[in-house]
Homo-oligomer: A and B are copies of this chain.
């Protein structure tokens, strides 16, 4: 298959991940609404990834494969999105420190061929163990500015790495795209990577 790949996400981290594994793509961020009625994290991220991919695929004239993705942090099945401000970031980091949580990324690969749309949707879950942090450490991390645009108020690939004792699952899923699973599905639908 020689279709163009379109990433339906403005996230610089997702762009870097696709580039890292040598996948050529274009970026067309989706304008889809990010509100959902589901509460189960796996369903939420799958549903949002589908909506983002569909939003972008519908606007394409040519055949293509659109990648939509959505990532959330779930603490005891409660979803933490991006913090609205530093106070909310502080609350989230307080809740996450010294224990484990899960990160879910949902992905939809939408194959657009003439007028047909063929969606492949899946999610990956990674468990993340966070070290105990004191208030000084949390405030110091918030002062880096990293928390504000990230689900759960942290980025595993930045300064917060000092507080991640370990994970179970795909690291890149926590960054924002489960690369290994994504590549498997791309191969199944006929792409050579």
The interface of chain A, by Cβ under 8 A from chain B, is: 17, 20-22, 126, 131, 137, 144, 156-159, 161-172, 179-181, 183-184, 193
Contacts and interface: CB of A to CB of B under 8 A. Distances in A.
Nearest to A20: B161
Contact of A170 (B17, B137, B166, B170): B166
A162 B21 contact: yes
A170 B164 CA distance: 7
Q: How often does this chain occur in the complex, in copies?
A: 2
A-B residue pairs, 3 tightest by C-beta:
A21-B162, A171-B171, A162-B183
11 contacts: A20-B158, A126-B166, A131-B180, A131-B183, A161-B172, A162-B180, A162-B193, A164-B170, A164-B171, A164-B180, A166-B169
A126 B137 CA distance: 26
A161 B179 contact: yes
A159 B131 CA distance: 29
Nearest to A132: B184
Contacts of A22: 144, 159, 162
A175 to B, nearest CB: 10
Nearest to A126: B166
User: Among the interface residues A156, A162, A165, A172, which one has the most CB atoms of the partner chain B within 10 A?
Assistant: A162
Contacts of A171: 156, 164, 167, 171
Contacts of A166: 126, 168-170, 180
A41 to B, nearest CB: 18
B131 A184 contact: yes
Contacts of A131: 180, 183-184
Contacts of A169: 166-167
